[in-house]
Structures are given as C-alpha cells and as structure tokens.
Structure 1
C-alpha cells in the first residue's frame, strides 16, 4: 500500500475512522513532529521471535518505525515481515497509545491473554512485550515467539 507522504490536519478523519488500510487510533508527537497512528488490526498480525539472542540492536522507546528498520537490518524476521507489509512494530510508547485506544473503545480486538512484542529492546538479550489486558510492559528473551500488532504512522501537517 502506498502511504500518503503526509496528511493535513484539516483532512484528518475522526479517531476510529478508516485511514491508510487501518484505523486511526490517535495523534501523537515524536521528536517535535506530529503523527497519526494507524492500527492495522488482527488480520494483519504476525508472529515470531523478536530477534537473535545476544545481538545488540539500537532501538528507542518512542519510534517504532526506526526500531523496526534497525531490527530488519539485524536480520529480525518479524521486522522484515512488518516492513514488507508497509507497516512497523510499535515501540514501547506506541504500544501504550494502542492500550489507551483499547481503553477508550477505539480498538476492540487486542487479545488480553498474551503479550505482544514491541520494537523496543531492553538489552542484547531481551526486549519489551506489552500485555493489553492491563497495559503492563515486561521484558523477555528475544528468542521467545510472540504475536506482533502492526501499525503505520503518517506525518500530520498543521
């Protein structure tokens, strides 16, 4: 799917409306820029290990797109799948934004019985998964297989 380069604030649909192959869940600021966060839903979820145990990958807690690209360069199969789908694995911050969207009824299909991977690493051996039952983030070995909720973001122009 060809994503728009940006979207003007005047043309943004309402939160919860369809946008770029998914559902607009929120607007958020990242490094001084505003973005529309789009959840691709259950049908686009993938599953797998985060990456190689013991391999350091430079990630942040905020930018899932940048993290996913770094993971893919390091050989992560789930990151490569995400990018091939025109999406990325949400960072820890973006997982919390998905949790808020769940709490407010914007997203209704996040599973509560397991943890989803974020793209944020905590060490060369572990990364942060998110529990969408109560919003708890933990850490786990990168070799553990977990589901991944795919998202997109579009810069917002005001």
Structure 2
C-alpha cells in the first residue's frame, strides 16, 4: 500500500516518503529499476519491495553490488540481541553496540553512492536476495543469531539456509533500506 492506503504493484511508480509527514504538498514519484538491476544513486542493486512490518515502513531492499570478503560473525559462546529474522538494521545496531562482530562492522563500514547506512542482512533479507537470483554462488552471513554458538547463513548455490558456527568466516554482502 502506498502512503494513502492504495495498493500498488511492486515496481510501479510509488509515492516517496520517509515516513508520513504533515504538510507534504508535492510527493515525488519514484520509478524503480527492475529487480536485480543497479539503482543509480541508491548504492546497489534493487532487491525488491518489502512491505511494512512492525515499526519499519515499506521500503525497497538495496543489495551492495559487491562482496566485502569473508569475515567471522564473532561473539562465539555469547548470546546476542541480534535475533530478528527480518530486520538487519536492528540486528547490526545490536552487534555493533556489543562489539566483537567483524561481519557486522564490515557491512556497516560499506559506503556507495554517498550512502553510509548499510547493514549485515537479516536471514529473511538474504532469502529475498536468493529468491530474486541476486547472488549466484557462495555462503553469506546473516545478522540473525541462532544461539550463543551459531548464526544463520544463506547458501546461494542451492538456497539452503542454515546455521553455522560464529567462529567461521563466511562472505558478507551489505544491504540498505530505501524508504518510500
């Protein structure tokens, strides 16, 4: 649904708004590139539309256009507050605050097209990337903890999503949210 409560198909022009704001007189129209295409000015590849959930408004998911390398998840044998399966920003915020999480630090340090608001994706965000064939191969960390010893990851070769030891090194692909 758009700001005014009307349903719109993903990929159609959308009214741009960060959050509902009073005194908005002339909202801009946004036309998204096709899923999987680079979105000029947004820092990466269009990962598709994400409906509002909880306190997070509807947005597009933007995947960084390159891997950052392999990093440890960190925090082995320690419980983390990074337990959301869909909110990579909340998870990354928790991991950065806790300290000792190299994959989250790498994702947060990434910048592109002037944007410095990238995160380590949550498990559902990685799954969305796999569902849209945005990454073709390799195993990538999510920001979603499973236990004191394990965190979720996504294997893009076959779509397997499982858990791995936090001490292992896996690939990192940053994501950001483009609110509409």
Q: Distance in 1 between matches of 2:28 and 2:142?
A: 28
1:51 and 2:74 are equivalent in the alignment: yes
Runs (5+) with no aligned partner, structure 1? none
Higher-Rg member (1/2): 2
- Where is the helix percentage greater, Structure 1 or Structure 2? 1
Farther off after superposition, 129-138 or 77-86? 77-86
Query: What TM-score do the two structures reach when normalised by structure 2?
Result: 0.73
Runs of 4+ in structure 1 over 6 Å off: none
Contact 2:68 2:107 in 1 (8 A): no
- Where is the strand percentage greater, Structure 1 or Structure 2? 1
Please list the CA deviations of residues 11-67 of structure 1 after superposition, one character each: whole Å capped at 9, or x if unmatched: 13223241411111201123262011001122x423211012111111210101111
Provide the residue aligned with 2:139 in structure 1.
115
Provide the residue aligned with 1:82 in structure 2.
107
Q: Compute the displacement of 1:78 (Å).
A: 2.0
Contact 1:69 1:83 in 2 (8 A): no
- Alignment map for 1:72-151 (pairs within 5 Å): 72-75=96-99, 76-85=101-110, 86=116, 87-102=118-133, 107=134, 110-112=135-137, 114-151=138-175
Query: What TM-score do the two structures reach when normalised by structure 1?
Result: 0.82
1:10 and 2:26 are equivalent in the alignment: no
Q: Compute the displacement of 1:151 (Å).
A: 0.9
Please list the CA deviations of residues 70-112 of structure 1 after superposition, one character each: whole Å capped at 9, or x if unmatched: 111121122122212221111011011101120xxxx3xx242
Ranked by relative contact order (alpha carbons within 8 Å, sequence separation 6 or more), the top structure is 1
Give the number of aligned pairs.
145
Contact 2:88 2:119 in 1 (8 A): yes
